Amino acid sequence: MIHLLKIEWLKVRRYTAFIVLAFCFVIGVFLINYIVYSVNKNIVSNVGPAGLISFSPYSFSNTWQTTSYATGFILLLPSLLLLMLMTNEYAFKTHRQNIIDGLSRGEFIGVKIMIALIFAVVSTLLVFITALCFGLASGTSFSMSGIVFVGYFFLKALTYNMVALLISVLIKRTGFAIGVFFIYLGGENFVAKMLDLWSIKIKRDNGTDLGGMGDYLPMNAADGLLTFPRNTISDMSKSFMPADYTWLILGLAFAYLLLFYWWTTKKFKTADL
Amino acid sequence: MAILSIKKLSKNYGAIRALNQVSFDVPPKTVFGILGPNGSGKTTLLGIVMDILKATEGTYEWNGESSSPAIRKKIGTLLETPNFYHYLSAVENLRIAARIKEADEDDIPRILEIVNLYQRKDSKFSTYSLGMKQRLAIASTLLGDPDILVFDEPTNGLDPAGIAEIRELIKELNRKGKTIIMASHILDEVEKVCTHVAIIQKGILKAVGSVREVMNTGGEAGATEAALLVELGAADLTQLRTVLDKMPGIESIADAEKGLLVVCPESLGTAAINKWCFENGVVLDKLEIKRKSLESRFLEITGSKSDK
């Protein structure tokens, strides 16, 4: 696998989109958290005395959850990059040439999945470092409590990357694949919101708590694990919101990942290239 | 043992049958041409044996073994168009290919010299002309000094000098004992370079064998008797045609510039034709054995002048 990863490195190291998007993501992780930090600081300083939102999102142990949640908004960057790397292979027909030159189909798609994993690991490391820095800057004492949210972030990053990879294998054309990726993302979010509202209605009308059903959808399963830390406002809405069945959602998120893995590899291994 | 042995290979694209039960062997150390009009199934055939297309039916073996990545690493292949990363230079692209093939990267400058691209080795692939891209693709096939080379339309996009160079390179590689499998629809190219040929039309193998065999035998693939091509002349060509029409063994009669062109089994012989015509009241004023070109043979086999 190291040999294959070195070949992939030769492919991407001079690819402008890789350099630009990777740079944007690294800067973006810090920037989006700084924005959340600044906005929260200003809100707290303005309405804090009223006691409405009197909590510090970047103090230990909130920092792990807040950083993971906030960085989730720019997770599209690495997944878009992965999508472009894969559709480039189709556009240049280099996927065929790589196979002709002696890679097996399993090796070719296997190393792309490995890149999806590496992107997720690197994103998670960035989140860990950023959360640590913001946490230490908050002046509170270090705590690993809440580190599980960094794990959820990893799951979300991997899910986004695997969906991007699957779409690129199915669609093949860069522009079209990016369009489908965004439409799917938007479409699933819309359906998820409808399902969430339905869950609230069922709970209110029948008293049956099915959980937030929107979280049972593929990308929302990983999304649903990452929420903003509990605060006064979220506590106020807790009474009528459906419960979070974390273990169920976690199981679903892993199941969807397995499904994406199986579908991507099967498609690439059996299709005409 | 055959370098490549294809048995009853078929490929369907939905309702379209692109290849139909194609079988043949590629002997070692030959330049084996796969000849056919555009859309006849040449590239599909090569795509299957290089594992990028899945066969609907049939099998194939390289050197008696089922295809595998290890075997493909030892074959230099240019299929259809040159496939490289547009944003990388020639050297960087070849380095990727060399890593996959586990070939010596130090050999890249020498290979680029062979295809006259050394001066532009650091230019991005996207800045290359069509001919340069084709040359780079040929360079890629030479990585690792493979014993088998597969070329699909290798002279695409090359100028006349480039075409001559590539032809000479193919002949030189063959002289060094390499087996070359080459698909082309350019008859002249195949005739000048190939020692063996398979003719495919609409996915069906029409003829296969050495170029000499294919040019001289009549009928479909597997035919063994050599054919004779004779140009005949007489004072009355209409009468000559009527007489020849009745002669047993004559396979076809076509108009020639100043007479008639006749195809018959070699065993029939020119003496028998002369005798038959004389006995039927026609005195021949011309009887000339013609050398067949691959083009005439190809048209005879495929029965079409289109797409040549």
pLDDT band for position A162 (50/70/90)?
very high
Tell me: pLDDT of B308 over 50: no
**Residues with Cβ < 8 Å from A176, sequence gap 6 or more?**
none
pLDDT of residue B101: 94
Interchain contact B171–A (C-beta under 8 A): no
Average pLDDT score over residue span B5-13: 94
Q: Cα-atom radius of gyration of chain B, to the nearest Å?
A: 23
Read off the pLDDT of residues A116-133 as tens digits, 9 standing for 90 and up.
999 999 999 999 999 999
With vertex at residue A240, the alpha carbon angle to CA A238 and CA A242, rounded to the nearest 5 degrees, is: 80
Tokens of A230: 């509990």
Q: How far, in Å, CA of B282 to CA of B234, rounded?
A: 7
Domain ranges of chain A: 2-270
- Smallest Cα distance from A30 to chain B, Å: 30
Q: How far, in Å, CA of B181 to CA of B62, rounded?
A: 12
Higher pLDDT, A228 or B83: B83
pLDDT of residue A184: 93
Cα separations in angstroms, B42 against B45, B181, B252: 5, 11, 28
pLDDT exceeding 90 applies to what percent of chain B? 52
pLDDT of residue B305: 39
pLDDT of residue A37: 86
Tell me: pLDDT of B148 over 50: yes
pLDDT of residue A258: 95
Residues of A in contact with B53 (CB under 8 A): 272-273
The ipTM (two decimal places) reads: 0.82
Q: How far, in Å, CA of A246 to CA of A146, rounded?
A: 14
pLDDT of residue A54: 62
User: Searching chain B, which residue's CA lies closest to the CA of residue A17?
Assistant: B87
pLDDT of residue A209: 77
Interchain contact A270–B (C-beta under 8 A): yes
Top residue of B54, B99, B100, B140 to mutate, by most chain A CBs within 10 Å, is: B100
pLDDT exceeding 90 applies to what percent of chain A? 60
Q: How far, in Å, CA of B268 to CA of B265, rounded?
A: 6
Average pLDDT, chain B: 86
Tell me: pLDDT of B2 over 80: yes
Q: What is the dihedral of CA B87, B89, B90, B96, to 10 degrees?
A: -70
User: Searching chain B, which residue's CA lies closest to the CA of residue A13?
Assistant: B88
pLDDT band for position B258 (50/70/90)?
confident
pLDDT of residue B306: 39
- Lowest mean pLDDT of A164-168, A219-223, B46-50, name the range: A219-223
Nearest to A103 among B47, B53, B100 (CB): B100
Q: Give the long-range contacts of residues A188-197, CB within 8 A, separation 24 or more.
A: A188/A217, A188/A218, A188/A219, A188/A220, A189/A219, A189/A220, A191/A217, A192/A217, A192/A220, A192/A223, A196/A242
Whether residue A230 contacts residue A66, with contact meaning beta carbons closer than 8 Å, is answered with no
Q: Which domains does chain B have, with CATH numbers?
A: 4-216 (3.40.50.300), 227-302 (3.30.70.100)
Q: Do B51 and A16 touch (CB under 8 A)?
A: no
Annotate chain B with three-state secondary structure.
Answer: CCCEEEEEEEEEECCEEEEEEEEEEECCCCEEEEECCCCCCHHHHHHHHCCCCCCCEEEEEECCECCCHHHHHCEEEECCCCCCCCCCEHHHHHHHHHHHHCCCHHHHHHHHHHCCCHHHCCCEHHHCCHHHHHHHHHHHHHCCCCCEEEEECCCCCCCHHHHHHHHHHHHHHHHCCCEEEEEECCHHHHHHHCCEEEEEECCEEEEEEEHHHHHHECCCCCCCCEEEEEEEEECCHHHHHHHHHCCCCCCEEEEECCEEEEEEECCCCHHHHHHHHHHCCCCEEEEEECCCCHHHHHHHHHCCCCCC
With vertex at residue A58, the alpha carbon angle to CA A54 and CA A64, rounded to the nearest 5 degrees, is: 125
DSSP chain A: -HHHHHHHHHHHTT-HHHHHHHHHHHHHHHHHHHHHHHHHHHHHHHHGGGTSS---TTSTTHHHHHHHHHHGGGTHHHHHHHHHHHHHHHHHTHHHHHHHHT--HHHHHHHHHHHHHHHHHHHHHHHHHHHHHHHHHTTPPP--TTTHHHHHHHHHHHHHHHHHHHHHHHH--HHHHHHHHHHHHHHHHHHHHHHHHHHHHHHHHH------GGGGSHHHHHHHH--PPP-HHHHHHTTTSPP--HHHHHHHHHHHHHHHHHHHHHHHHHS--
Q: How far, in Å, CA of B63 to CA of B72, rounded?
A: 12
Q: Do A97 and B69 touch (CB under 8 A)?
A: no
- Lowest mean pLDDT of A173-187, A259-273, B18-32, B184-198, name the range: B184-198
Q: Do A100 and B79 touch (CB under 8 A)?
A: yes
Interchain contact B271–A (C-beta under 8 A): no
With vertex at residue A68, the alpha carbon angle to CA A254 and CA A228, rounded to the nearest 5 degrees, is: 100
Tell me: pLDDT of B241 over 80: yes
Residues of B in contact with A268 (CB under 8 A): none
Strands B252-256 and B204-210: unpaired
Q: Is residue B214 packed enough to be buried (19+ CB in 10 Å), middle (13-18) or exposed (0-12)?
A: buried
Interchain contact B66–A (C-beta under 8 A): no
Tell me: pLDDT of B221 over 60: no
* Matching residue, tokens 């004559």: B250
Tell me: pLDDT of B11 over 60: yes
- Bridge partners (DSSP) listed for residue B202: none
Tell me: pLDDT of B264 over 90: no
Cis? peptide before A38, omega within 30° of 0: no
Residues of A in contact with B140 (CB under 8 A): 97, 101
